[in-house]
Structure 1
């Protein structure tokens, strides 16, 4: 079998990276071997690394078995992998799956709850980690999958799931009684996907962005207004929900100063400038929590159906909003990581890497 490789980042300095060569891992009984084929790299993956300790993202793909010391971390990626060997009934060589993958050539999983939709990895080290990240969907039975849309799924599906669940939570709570919803980092994929779900359903949507991203953000058509961070004082002083995807303390302070008690909800969703925002916000949004609620409300099939319907509404717009930049090989992954980490990737560009 071909040699494998691992890309890792220093946990204390995400700009410091390494590429380690290794043999493809052996396959124990009760396991399957996945070959990582095609992945995306967005600000979401940087978030996983920034919150690697706090949210346990480093624990999904421990560096030790790959010959790397504890100072290194493997930032999780979303993408497609192919089963190349299996000792588990129902998981067959040649099967293609979508899911949470390491920045590496291969991944050994221990499939359980195997059915036509795919399986879950029940490796012991993942047992206490959030279960949605342990699911691997078979492309053969995934209603959202189309072969010609793999790159859109890679770049948007994990973000869109967060966006879909975020919009659903806001709607589920009757928009918290707000007349305006303000989203920071409005040019980011997670923000504008949520805005596309909320647009026209209730309160006015306002996107906050930097001056250089105003034109792009307005061109999306999913915000009722686009305002720069320097013009927060121009916002209408009405009951407002703030969905914070930037984590910028100055933005939060400006909103609180301008709106006062009209800021009815301050919700930390993620971060794009690497400043953890959970402590300063009024509350933190975590998609798996709302997913579990809706799984109880609608059943898993009902949730899947609603997600697929929303995804199919989103795809035509997303196709026009993104320019996919495809790289090849581990070095391309390193370059994409450093570009996204440094904020050099324009909002229209999405990095996909093929191995």
Structure 2
């Protein structure tokens, strides 16, 4: 058998990691083998691990490497992979796909619903998991794909999907009648991509961030105003929606105390500081729910077209907001994970690992 490797983290201590060598299992009928080629690491991947139990993210790539117990997990990554072997018609060797990948050298998938856009992994253990994460888009059938934007797609596309659907949900609900939208962790990619979609469409948009990120966040031009967290209690007392991407309890408490009934919505959108905030928030945003609604409203092709149009508009400017930090191999993947997990990645930086 050919050799491969797997990177794993301890589920109860995400800063504890291991790299394990292994072997690629033989393919059975109905399966294909993907070689993981290029992945990215952002705070979003840490979110998957923090919420691994409650949102079932650990279940996408279960079992872990051979020889390790159930206390170890594989945090999902986004990136590109190439088909190196296949027993499935329409899934050809050499095909390049974008999707949800393990932190490993290879992934065995069971392609279903194969067409020009790609396929879905029909593996039994993924049947009850959120369907958007099971799709593998062929680069040749993806209206959002451009070869010279692969790094941008890796770093921003999964975040931009969340941002696009968040902005769409807020607009779809008439901005909940708010005069102001307040976005925490405003310097994060998910936050400013959502702000890019929402800016100029109605309510005043205010970003909250740490003092060290104020200048960067203002330079984006996505917000009408940028404030530090300790200025949250100085906002105008008007109907306000809070889109919380930080999960910081002190910020939520300050806003609730200051705004009272003027806080018309308090929505948790993931987290960036490793503190789950779903229970404390008024509600939790889950992108696949809004995606399902829009697929019913617009159809799959209509949603794809709207997403691609929004993506191309965003990508045209986002390239100027990003400094790609490239690494190579499993050890660099481990280093990048620890940098992101420990919050040592500047907002302009994007971690790309070639495997």
TM-score range relative to shorter protein: over 0.9
**Aligned pairs for 1:99-114 within 5 A:** 99-114=99-114
Structure 2 counterpart of 1:253: 253
**Aligned pairs for 1:194-213 within 5 A:** 194-213=194-213
Tell me if the contact between 1:78 and 1:158 (Cα under 8 Å) persists in the aligned partners: yes
Structure 1 counterpart of 2:150: 150
CA distance in 2, matches of 1:346, 1:65: 31
Structure 1 counterpart of 2:230: 230
How far did 1:69 drift? Answer: 1.5
Structure 1 counterpart of 2:11: 11
Tell me if the contact between 1:25 and 1:106 (Cα under 8 Å) persists in the aligned partners: no
Structure 2 counterpart of 1:134: 134
CA distance in 2, matches of 1:64, 1:218: 42
Structure 1 counterpart of 2:89: 89
Aligned CA-pair RMSD: 0.8
Helix, strand or coil: the match of 1:261? helix
Structure 1 counterpart of 2:325: 325
Post-superposition Cα deviations, 1:195-219, rounded to whole Å, max 9, x if no partner, equal: 0000000000000000000000000
- The structure-2 alpha-carbon separation of the partners of 1:65 and 1:274, relative to structure 1 and needing over 3 Å to count, comes to closer
Post-superposition Cα deviations, 1:240-291, rounded to whole Å, max 9, x if no partner, equal: 0000000111000000011110000000011001111010111000000000
Q: Which runs of 5+ in 2 are unaligned?
A: none
Post-superposition Cα deviations, 1:49-69, rounded to whole Å, max 9, x if no partner, equal: 000000000000013464431
Tell me if the contact between 2:20 and 2:65 (Cα under 8 Å) persists in the aligned partners: no
Structure 1 counterpart of 2:53: 53
CA distance in 2, matches of 1:205, 1:305: 26
How far did 1:317 drift? Answer: 1.4
**Aligned pairs for 1:19-30 within 5 A:** 19-30=19-30
TM-score after normalising by structure 1: 0.99
- The structure-2 alpha-carbon separation of the partners of 1:83 and 1:67, relative to structure 1 and needing over 3 Å to count, comes to farther
Tell me if the contact between 1:183 and 1:243 (Cα under 8 Å) persists in the aligned partners: yes
Helix, strand or coil: the match of 2:154? helix
Helix, strand or coil: the match of 2:40? strand
TM-score after normalising by structure 2: 0.99
Structure 1 counterpart of 2:350: 350
How far did 1:30 drift? Answer: 0.7
Post-superposition Cα deviations, 1:90-120, rounded to whole Å, max 9, x if no partner, equal: 0000000000000000000000000000000
Q: Which stretches of structure 1, 4 residues or more, deviate above 6 A after TM superposition? A: none
CA distance in 1, matches of 2:65, 2:262: 52
CA distance in 2, matches of 1:11, 1:315: 34
Structure 1 counterpart of 2:275: 275
* The 10-residue stretch of structure 1 (87-96 or 64-73) with the greater mean CA deviation from structure 2: 64-73
How far did 1:86 drift? Answer: 0.2
Post-superposition Cα deviations, 1:216-245, rounded to whole Å, max 9, x if no partner, equal: 000000000001001112211110000000
Tell me if the contact between 1:139 and 1:145 (Cα under 8 Å) persists in the aligned partners: yes
CA distance in 1, matches of 2:64, 2:153: 30
How far did 1:81 drift? Answer: 0.2
CA distance in 2, matches of 1:225, 1:64: 45
Helix, strand or coil: the match of 2:226? strand
- The structure-2 alpha-carbon separation of the partners of 1:86 and 1:66, relative to structure 1 and needing over 3 Å to count, comes to farther
Determine whether 1:291 maps to 2:285.
no
Helix, strand or coil: the match of 1:144? coil
CA distance in 1, matches of 2:226, 2:159: 21
Tell me if the contact between 2:196 and 2:314 (Cα under 8 Å) persists in the aligned partners: yes
Structure 1 counterpart of 2:117: 117
Helix, strand or coil: the match of 1:208? strand
Equivalent pairs, count: 355
Q: Which runs of 5+ in 1 are unaligned?
A: none
